[in-house]
A and B are shown apart, each in its own frame.
Chain A
Amino acid sequence: MKPGFQSTLQDLGRNGFTHLGISPAGAADSFSFRLGNLLVGNDENDAGLEMTLVGGTYRFNQSVLAVLTGSRFRATLEGAEFPYFKAVHVKKGQELDIGPSQDGARCFLTVKGGFNVPQVLGSRSTHLMTRIGGYEGRDLKKGDQINFGYSSTSREPGKLEKIIETDRSVLRVTKGLQYDRFESKNRDVFFRERFIVSQRSNRMGLRTEGPEIKAGITDEILTEGLPIGAVQVPGDGHPIISFVDHQTTGGYSKIANVIAADLCKVGQLKPRDEFKFQLVSVAEAEKLYFEQESFFQKFTESSS
């Protein structure tokens, strides 16, 4: 009924098309998103609703099992408080009102069966700049109606023993491809100072304010592929973290790369939040990633 600040349908992303200039998109906090699907018994890639900063008001035209995950936004169902990380049977005709965030940048509404929109290139994720996927390739507007789908799994809804808290004030990174191009005093500034999330951040990239990082020999490099989480340093010295809707190639030097296990934190940082970068090895980062994956594997096994 009311869409909030920026609400888009997402799944875990569209893989296989970066060579055509189409980045994967997908949920900005895939950890919370996957959890949402598992808590209603879906496949973890079923489409859910990602809301940013302000949630919106939604009327259910059909009874369904639904759950909110991610950051806590003030949420009420017909005036009664709606819980997080706990699946609830919402009845036909009820209204779920999701207000402003009281925590991080994004929360997710997931329903049993997922949201039923056509797949584009194998995914239901909305890619905003390309205007493909999701609901007509765009964020939701007042009056849009979305049907529920049928999940490909017949899993029982999972139960979460304890809510996992994450510390968003530290983003762990590995060395970026051009790390050595930065003078050591600039690298020191990068790891010592606190950065502030800019208002101009979006799903393409998280922009920062605060410390300026000088690139050393040359700012620009030959345009090359850009990984998600790459911390690029443009000419003005304010690092930009490439994110889910990122451009597929870039020409700025990359000082660091946010580790995969911490990308969910990037999706929860909101304007004016402060954070620091912390260096870890690639081996450590890979270990942390697979620990996160094994958490989901165990969760899936315990509920199937």
Chain B
Amino acid sequence: MILDPTIIPASDRSILIQFGDEISEDLHHQVFLFTQGLLASSHEAISNISPGYSSVLVRLHHQATLAEGMDTIAAILKEEHPGDTIPQRTVEIPVCYEDEFGPDLGRVLKHTGYDKEELIERHTSGMYLVYFMGFSAGFPYIGGMDASLATPRLETPRKAVPAGSVGIAGQQTGMYPLSTPGGWNLIGRTPLPLFNRLNPKDTAIRMGDRIRFHTVGRAEFESLGQS
């Protein structure tokens, strides 16, 4: 079987390869294999790759034509073996759910009707999947949250969310690797550095990883942050 996505120009210098139009682990599998295929192969037509939930956007090298980009994409799709398994890592993410790190805990508890213990229990019992990295440096798009934890975004986003903040926005949970503006409900913070400015390629979390959150107290948060 050969993957058969829709391939269309997204602009005069980029092409979208669309495998479907939903969030599913099957589509993620295809997106992952294609992304890895592009990263591993030596080609001159493509200079940037942005995977999403069900598609991959590629940006052309400054000398390449759209036709050359299309040829490169076709060649990589031909090499794909959709049955290939993805090597999976499970990354443990320590989270301190203390009130000072989770200024929106009250909002989430009110919305979900849970007490704090149950919220933490449900948030830490999930096995999550990193669909892709996008938005800003090291920002993982994570799926698999307990649907009963869903809480709408803040009406007014914060101007600066502290790096490491863990939050909930609608059906999604996620983490802020950098201090950026953001509208997620903050429920805790991880001491794990998610983005390393000195070595930006060395990311704690990668596309395709499984993630588990576990709770740490204030003291452990401090000591992990210093190590």
Partner of B11, one of A22, A127, A230, A248: A230
Interface residues of A in 236-287 (CB under 8 A from B): 247-250, 254, 257-260, 282, 285-286
User: With A15-B47, A20-B138, A260-B13 known to touch, is A227 a contact of B23 (CB < 8 Å)?
Assistant: no
The residue on B at minimum CB distance from A249 is: B134
CB-CB under 8 A from B21, the residues of chain A are 222
User: With A21-B138, A225-B52 known to touch, is A16 a contact of B16 (CB < 8 Å)?
Assistant: no
In the assembly, what is the distance between CA of A224 and CA of B10, in Å? 11
In the assembly, what is the distance between CA of A285 and CA of B66, in Å? 11
- Which stretch in A61-69, A130-138, A144-152, A184-192 binds the other chain? A130-138
Query: Is B171 an interface residue when CB atoms closer than 8 A count as contact?
Result: no
Say yes or no: A21 contacts B11, CB within 8 Å.
no
In the assembly, what is the distance between CA of A18 and CA of B50, in Å? 6
Say yes or no: A222 contacts B12, CB within 8 Å.
no
Say yes or no: A19 contacts B133, CB within 8 Å.
yes
Say yes or no: B53 contacts A222, CB within 8 Å.
yes
In the assembly, what is the distance between CA of A230 and CA of B59, in Å? 12
Say yes or no: B135 contacts A249, CB within 8 Å.
yes
Q: Mark B112-151, 1 if CB is under 8 A from A, else 0.
A: 0000000000000000000011111111010000000000
Say yes or no: B197 contacts A259, CB within 8 Å.
no
Q: Mark B178-208, 1 if CB is under 8 A from A, else 0.
A: 1010000000000000010100110100010
Say yes or no: A225 contacts B55, CB within 8 Å.
yes
In the assembly, what is the distance between CA of A120 and CA of B200, in Å? 9
The residue on A at minimum CB distance from B8 is: A177
Partner of A174, one of B9, B65, B141: B9
In the assembly, what is the distance between CA of A198 and CA of B61, in Å? 31
Interface residues of A in 119-167 (CB under 8 A from B): 120-121, 127, 129-132, 137
In the assembly, what is the distance between CA of A19 and CA of B21, in Å? 20
User: With A260-B11, A293-B63 known to touch, is A129 a contact of B49 (CB < 8 Å)?
Assistant: no
Q: How many A-B residue pairs lie within 8 Å, measured between CB atoms?
A: 148
Query: Is A229 an interface residue when CB atoms closer than 8 A count as contact?
Result: yes
CB-CB under 8 A from B30, the residues of chain A are none
In the assembly, what is the distance between CA of A165 and CA of B11, in Å? 25
Query: Is B54 an interface residue when CB atoms closer than 8 A count as contact?
Result: yes
In the assembly, what is the distance between CA of A205 and CA of B12, in Å? 19
In the assembly, what is the distance between CA of A137 and CA of B179, in Å? 14
In the assembly, what is the distance between CA of A285 and CA of B12, in Å? 6
CB-CB under 8 A from B138, the residues of chain A are 20-21
Query: Is B39 an interface residue when CB atoms closer than 8 A count as contact?
Result: yes
Say yes or no: B63 contacts A282, CB within 8 Å.
no
Say yes or no: A247 contacts B134, CB within 8 Å.
yes
Say yes or no: A19 contacts B135, CB within 8 Å.
no
User: With A222-B21, A282-B12 known to touch, is A247 a contact of B136 (CB < 8 Å)?
Assistant: yes
Say yes or no: B12 contacts A289, CB within 8 Å.
yes
User: With A18-B59, A177-B10 known to touch, is A130 a contact of B203 (CB < 8 Å)?
Assistant: no
A residues neighboring B (CB under 8 Å): 12, 15-22, 24, 120-121, 127, 129-132, 137, 174, 176-177, 222-230, 247-250, 254, 257-260, 282, 285-286, 289-290, 293
Name 13 extra pairs, CB < 8 A, besides A174-B11, A222-B21, A254-B10: A18-B49, A19-B35, A19-B39, A21-B136, A131-B178, A132-B137, A223-B134, A224-B57, A225-B49, A226-B50, A227-B13, A282-B9, A286-B66
Closest 8 CB pairs of A and B: A225-B57, A225-B50, A249-B134, A285-B12, A224-B52, A257-B11, A227-B14, A15-B47
